[in-house]
Each structure stands twice: as structure tokens, then as C-alpha cells.
Amino acid sequence: MIILTSSVATVASHIYQHRLSDKGYKTILFIDTASEPEIGKVEGDDDWLQADLKGLRDQGYQVDRFTVTGKTKEEIEVEFDKYDVLYMCGGNTIYLLQKLQETGSFDLIVEKVRNGKPYIGTSAGSIIAGPKIPVYLEDAEGITLDDYTGFRFTNTIVVPHWGSEHFKQMYLDERLKLAYKDSEPPFLLMSDYHYAVIDEDGSLKMFSAKK
């Protein structure tokens, strides 16, 4: 099962009640690599990450943080195999892709998920699940990669935080322009109160956590 969210904090309860409560999962590996460039600079800049952690833990899961940065592929696989669910945190998508490529864990994640390991992504963790990573100038931070291919769990690029005032100008100024290029895959606009489930046959269904 693959679940893609914009903000897991706002949909975790709905996901658990309607998608996961009968699965028997107990442990989640919270891969926070994408957050590394974005937290620890000022007090409170990780509030969103803490909210996501709490949202998952409130469902009764054991949730442990982990980064692939500085690890070997063998070390990473040992951790992956300890947990029922892989969770890919939000943050900087280009940075995340770089670290996954450097450590060899990109192909490892694809292999594990294709073989049945449940995957939950939030924001950057949902974007990278698509066919490619859209290269936005404000995300790149000087990082240049030879390959921007995503996990290809879906043929659609998730556009997270749709409707959020914080991201409004960013989308209007840059990101949505890509939707009008013939070379780009389809875009899926996702608010913080929606999530997508990709079934085994590859079909994608959207759900709302709003009452």
C-alpha cells in the first residue's frame, strides 16, 4: 500500500480509521532526511515535523526518526527491515533525492515497496513518489543532479499544500507554470486535508479527511 499526503498531521487519524486500522502495523520508520536543510536554524522551524510525528504516534504507532545521510546501503536496509511501514518526511525534495542517490537507498526503497513494504509520503515524500522531480529554482539550493527520476509509484506529480496561504505566491509565480508545458507529467493538486492511495494495480484514488 502506498499513501501520499500533503500534511500527514491533518489526515493521520482518517488514514488510520479507514485504511490502516485492520492491517496490524505497529512500527513506522520516519525518514526525516528531506527536513535536514530546513530545520535547526531558528526556534520552532520544525513545528510541522513535530506535528507529523505526533499525528502518527497518536494512532498508536511506534514511530522512530531515521536519516539515510551518512549511512551505507547495508545499514539502511537493516533499518528498513525492522519496521512495518516506511514513512518519507517532507522538506527539500532535491536534497532528499541527492541523499537517496548517494547512499544507494533510492533503488532499495523502490525494491522494498514494489515487494509489498507499505510506504507513506508527505510533501517531498509524496513528490518523489512520482515519475520525476520538478526542478524549482527555490528548491535546488545549488544542488545539480544527473537524474531527477522519482520512484515512479504513480505517473502523476503531487503538488502538496494546495490552498495554503504560505505557498500561494510560490505556486502562482513559478510552480504552476510547469503544468502548461507539454513535457511535464500530469499534476495532482493536493490540499493538507486530502490524501491519495495507490492500490496494487497502480490505480490512484483521492480521499478527504474533512468532515
Annotated catalytic residues are 123, 161
Cα 10 from Cα 47, distance rounded (Å)? 13
> Over the range 177-187, which residues count as b (16 or more CB within 10 Å of their CB) and which as e?
ebeeeeeebeb
Amino acid at 152: R
- Pairing label, strands 157-159, 194-198: unpaired
Q: How far apart are the first and last CA of the chain?
A: 24
Cell of 201: 494495480
H or E segment at 165?
A: helix 165-173
3-state SS class at 91: coil
Cα 32 from Cα 19, distance rounded (Å)? 23
Backbone phi and psi for residue 115, each to the nearest 5 degrees, phi listed first: -90, 10
